[in-house]
Structure 1
Amino acid sequence: MGVTGVRVRMQAPEQDVLVLLGEAEGERSLPIVIGPHEGVAIATAHAGMQPPRPGPHDLMVSVLTSCGVALTQVNIVELRAGTFIAELVLSNGARVDSRASDAIALALRAQVDVWCAEDVLDEAAVVLETDTDGNMRVSEPVGIDEAEAEVAHFREFLDSVAAEDFADPREE
């Protein structure tokens, strides 16, 4: 999977930061909600920007290199209670538990592949389409049945509706 980008999703009163991974060969995308600091770390690496001093992810890659070990791959292995679980695969055969956001930030810096377990994609991936204004929207839920799709569409509606939308027109 490759990093498609980092997006801020505005939902009053808060905002979510999403990293969007896309299949190299396929149409599914995997949106992962991450923290704002991790979003900056991923977005800057994705853009190829070099900080003046090493940040935590740059430092980790440097430490691994200094120890004669390389990051060879990042695996997103599980979705547990809404949290994506990742592992770092090292050249010495070790596998290290990691938050998905940190693993993605390291993968970009080390220029290694991000792999995602098929069952995670089946559970959490979406198919996106871009409208004429360049906005991305979920075109169809992937890996869910018709009843779950109805619930997903209803949740999208609830996320976009405001209390004023339910005002009685006779009161105006």
Structure 2
Amino acid sequence: MLKVKLRGLALDQANSPVVILEVDNLNRGLGIWIGPFEAESLALAVSGKEYPRPLTYDLFINTIKAAKAVFQKAVIHSVKDNIYYATLYISDASGEEKEIDARPSDCLVLAVKYGFPVFVEEEVFESSAIDLSKIPTDYSETGPEEKEQSEEEFKRFLNSINIEDIKKYLEKKKGTEDE
């Protein structure tokens, strides 16, 4: 398994949200298309904005805490027909590990809000990996000046990214797997 981190959130040419995940020190990652509501939740989680009343992900986190369970990790374990599948791992109050079928987008929102690691199985990564050398580095842990500069770099990247090339690459990979 490879540990991934959120590199960014983008819109493709059809205005569909894409989460870009990366593996440290490889300059490679993968793009996962997600729904608009999940993208909004992820963007809110990354911004750290708090609301006076709990949102759905907050409710889930609060429920896990109330049950004295703990998030352990999430694993993106497979991809079928360009749909990614993940498992969320928690430990219950007795310490027993439980596996919960989950969407990668939900796992990412929870991981950002709660701080647990996200992994991708190596064969999933290898079948979907893209070159990230032109994407700016993560800016979530920088100071205000660096964050502003990185955000500008990320905006420039978003304007230059060709999601159609990524889609063609994924379709090509899917076609070779079907043969």
SS at match of 1:26: coil
**Partner residue, 1:164:** none
Q: For 1:10-21, list aligned pairs within 5 A.
A: 10-11=13-14, 15-21=15-21
Contact 1:3 1:21 survives alignment (8 Å): yes
Higher Rg: 1
SS at match of 1:129: coil
Contact 2:46 2:112 survives alignment (8 Å): yes
Percent identity, please: 23
Which of 102, 115, 134 aligns to 2:119? It is: 115
**Partner residue, 1:125:** 129
SS at match of 2:26: coil
Matches of 2:26 and 2:133, distance apart in 1: 13
Query: Which deviates the most, 42-51 or 108-117?
Result: 42-51
Matches of 2:76 and 2:42, distance apart in 1: 16
1:72-104 CA distance string (max 9 Å, x none): 101101101211000101123001000111111
Relative to its length, the structure with more helix (as a share) is: 2
Contact 2:108 2:118 survives alignment (8 Å): yes
**CA-based RMSD:** 2.4
**Partner residue, 1:62:** 62
Q: Normalising by the residue count of structure 1, what TM-score does the alignment of the two structures yield? A: 0.73
Matches of 2:129 and 2:33, distance apart in 1: 13
**Partner residue, 1:4:** 7
1:93 alignment partner AA: E
Deviation at 1:54, TM superposition (A): 1.2
Between 1 and 2, higher relative CO (CA 8 Å, sep ≥ 6) is seen in 2
Matches of 1:60 and 1:24, distance apart in 2: 29
Contact 2:77 2:86 survives alignment (8 Å): yes
Q: For 1:15-54, list aligned pairs within 5 A.
A: 15-54=15-54
List alignment gaps of at least 5 residues for structure 1. 152-172
Matches of 2:102 and 2:42, distance apart in 1: 15
SS at match of 1:76: strand
**Partner residue, 2:141:** none
Q: For 1:65-144, list aligned pairs within 5 A.
A: 65-91=65-91, 92-130=96-134, 134-135=156-157, 137=161
Contact 1:5 1:46 survives alignment (8 Å): no
Contact 2:27 2:133 survives alignment (8 Å): no
Contact 1:29 1:126 survives alignment (8 Å): yes
Relative to its length, the structure with more strand (as a share) is: 1
